[in-house]
Chains A and B, each alone.
Chain A
């Protein structure tokens, strides 16, 4: 079983991201469970959502306490919420930012992690470019597909199309694909460096 925790703020599509990720996994014939952290959510407040992916029925109903992947949709949460709580030592970290882990002050913290599993994505910029609104969720799922390989970018795009229609779907697919390409490029450059 692969467990993902998504942190963000009300209005950033955190719950929708977990749902779309579960749909992408479902489209690949896997079992998936997505659920929010069940608060009284409101714009701007910290929000958490979870997604589990497995090859057999998922019976477990506890929150994701030891995630294997972490998606942080808003880097300002790093100062407010213990987003890294329970993250497994070789876990994946995706952060929506134009800055580096070092610039975010996380250089020391992530020094024990596998570098190829650490990833920053300019998801808000991609969303503004393709969707016209600062909703980073779809772009981050594209980045997630690239860095983890747990779902394909095609499944992510199909999940986005099933959730949205028309221009919104097209914009989010473009943002997700853009993020996927961005992360793949970064990974290639890191390998050749």
Chain B
């Protein structure tokens, strides 16, 4: 059913149609609208056989999801930013125990300095926590990935994180084709747990495992997660047959056939990149876009195949490994079949800095012209940086850095984006 709807509410409706039995959550922007909507659906009786549990923290949210999932319930939660970090220990436990929890991460920067806006620092900080990580390009895909995520999680007994850009997607009102209950029921079979806490058939879950078997438990987690590399593309095709539209998959190429340069990215920036590439093609530049829709497991083979004929790769990413550079580009370099020197990292949009077509086009023209460096910070205010560095050179007690930069730029809140 076509609806003009806020991303968060669309995701809540899709999650509700997946018939979760436990939804536990703690509010944090920009995720809050999702669980608020789910709370309303439970309270109104529209979402039946589901317990909505208000918890006292994100650590509790994931702990309750673990308990619910271990008891055989289909469990869902959502978080962002510091909330994801606060639950980090339990996030690793969920995957270590093999519990198929689905969690939305409404991607947001991590402090300090505190910042509520979008980037991918939160999901990237936990990229190796053992969860499958899917990234949505738009709200239609955010909806569809949740429907896929429950089935994927339960098939593999592994938790799945669906990442959607905070505010940019969660708070955007756009056209979404919401799946019907019948479609979802046909797609998602009832949850059949591999392990369940059942008083009639008691087991213990969470044993201490020493050097005798810990490696094997970890190896099996790796082995199982890698199975998603076959399932995700297979189910993306199946999904298209049931729902009549493409969603998910490991990677998706746009205008890459004859491309000399390919831009690799994940999340909502893909839309702006596609518009930019269309305009640059009018100028005669042979550029394409490769969207990563699954980041963990890392689809090395699919990335390698997609980039096999490409002479130059530009990875645009909304996260920074301080002291190294790009995170996504590290992965792409490892998969790229040619010289890693031809993979450029562009850090963009940190803390909600708007990523514009104009900036992307300028950067991509310099990439095509062979003048783009190995590591670029898109739209970095170099004057601002130089002033801060000059102050630090001139005096010892320069005071709090972030506050000094805010004074340099003036009152931000009063300026339009």
Interface set of A (CB-CB < 8 Å, partner B)? 5, 7, 18-19, 22-23, 26-27, 31-40, 45-46, 48, 58-63, 65, 80-83, 85
The answer to whether the Cβ of B175 comes within 8 Å of any Cβ in the partner chain is: yes
Given known pairs A63-B417, A81-B414, the reply for A36 and B171 (CB within 8 Å) is: yes
From B30, B116, B174, B274, A22 is in contact (CB under 8 Å) with B174
In the bound complex, how far is the Cα of B358 from the Cα of A181, in angstroms?
Answer: 40
Residues of chain B lying within 8 A (CB to CB) of residue A22: 4, 173-174
Interface residues in B167-185 (C-beta closer than 8 Å to A): 167-168, 171-175
Given known pairs A48-B417, A61-B268, A81-B416, the reply for A34 and B274 (CB within 8 Å) is: no
In the bound complex, how far is the Cα of B270 from the Cα of A185, in angstroms?
Answer: 45
Interface residues of chain B: helix, strand, loop or mixed (majority): loop
In the bound complex, how far is the Cα of B415 from the Cα of A48, in angstroms?
Answer: 10
The answer to whether the Cβ of B208 comes within 8 Å of any Cβ in the partner chain is: no
Q: How far is the CB of B174 from chain A (nearest CB, A)?
A: 5
In the bound complex, how far is the Cα of B54 from the Cα of A125, in angstroms?
Answer: 43
Please name 19 pairs of A and B residues whose Cβ atoms are closer than 8 Å in the assembled complex, sorted by A: A22-B173, A22-B174, A31-B175, A32-B175, A33-B172, A34-B172, A34-B173, A37-B416, A38-B116, A38-B117, A39-B413, A46-B414, A48-B416, A48-B417, A61-B268, A62-B357, A63-B416, A80-B414, A83-B416
Q: Is the CB of B173 within 8 A of A62?
A: no
Report B211-242 CB contacts with A as 1/0, cut-off 8 Å: 00000000000000000000000000000000
In the bound complex, how far is the Cα of B355 from the Cα of A92, in angstroms?
Answer: 26
Q: Is the CB of A35 within 8 A of B417?
A: no
Residues of chain B lying within 8 A (CB to CB) of residue A48: 416-417
Residues of chain B lying within 8 A (CB to CB) of residue A59: 138, 270-272, 274-275
5 A-B pairs closest in CB distance:
A59-B271, A26-B4, A38-B167, A34-B173, A35-B172
Q: Is the CB of A33 within 8 A of B173?
A: yes
Report B145-178 CB contacts with A as 1/0, cut-off 8 Å: 0000000000000000000010110011111000
Q: Which of A27, A33, A38 has the most CB of B within 10 A?
A: A38
Q: How far is the CB of B164 from chain A (nearest CB, A)?
A: 12
Q: Is the CB of A82 within 8 A of B272?
A: no
Residues of chain A lying within 8 A (CB to CB) of residue B246: none
Q: Is the CB of B416 within 8 A of A82?
A: yes
Residues of chain A lying within 8 A (CB to CB) of residue B268: 61
In the bound complex, how far is the Cα of B274 from the Cα of A26, in angstroms?
Answer: 23
Residues of chain A lying within 8 A (CB to CB) of residue B6: 19
Given known pairs A19-B6, A40-B116, the reply for A35 and B272 (CB within 8 Å) is: no
Residues of chain A lying within 8 A (CB to CB) of residue B165: 61
Q: Is the CB of A60 within 8 A of B173?
A: no
Q: Is the CB of B415 within 8 A of A81?
A: yes
Residues of chain B lying within 8 A (CB to CB) of residue A61: 165, 168, 268-269, 271-272, 355
- Using CB atoms, name the residue of chain B closest to A58: B174
- Using CB atoms, name the residue of chain B closest to A64: B417
The answer to whether the Cβ of B356 comes within 8 Å of any Cβ in the partner chain is: yes
Residues of chain A lying within 8 A (CB to CB) of residue B321: none
The answer to whether the Cβ of B352 comes within 8 Å of any Cβ in the partner chain is: yes
The answer to whether the Cβ of B354 comes within 8 Å of any Cβ in the partner chain is: yes
From A27, A34, A37, A40, B417 is in contact (CB under 8 Å) with A37
Residues of chain B lying within 8 A (CB to CB) of residue A39: 413
Q: Is the CB of A35 within 8 A of B173?
A: yes
- Using CB atoms, name the residue of chain B closest to A40: B116
- Using CB atoms, name the residue of chain A closest to B272: A61
In the bound complex, how far is the Cα of B274 from the Cα of A36, in angstroms?
Answer: 22
In the bound complex, how far is the Cα of B4 from the Cα of A27, in angstroms?
Answer: 9
- Using CB atoms, name the residue of chain B closest to A80: B414
